[in-house]
Amino acid sequence: MIAAGLYQLTSLKEACLDHCRMPVVFITRHLQEGRWGALGMGIRHGGYCLGRCWALFAVLVAAGVMSLGWMLLLSLVFIAEKVLPYGRHVSAIVGGLLLILGSGALGGVVAFPWLA
């Protein structure tokens, strides 16, 4: 959780979020013709989207343990980051919360069922 929280605050996360938020702009800037060009664009754009959300997926696996509540919460975070005009602020807030939650888990203040 701490690593994911730190990643949420990086410029790399912000750059990936910028590309992933506006796929039409990405397409107009990187348009390539043909099947191989489309495949290359898809892989490149997919890389940006993976860069945007890999840390939160790691939190989902580590903290969620397939918990419906965690899945719902992080799905709302994904949507808010991508759709809302202040998505960057959402990323920063979530990063801070993950840092607090991860630190609390390390310090034994926050208890998770699978750590007991």
**pLDDT tens digits, one per residue of 62-87:** 776 667 887 888 889 888 988 888 88
For residue 47, how far is the Cα from the chain centroid? 12
58 falls in which pLDDT band (50, 70, 90)? confident
Assess whether pLDDT exceeds 60 at residue 113: no
What global pTM score does this model have? 0.79
Query: To the nearest whole percent, how much of the chain has pLDDT over 70?
Result: 92
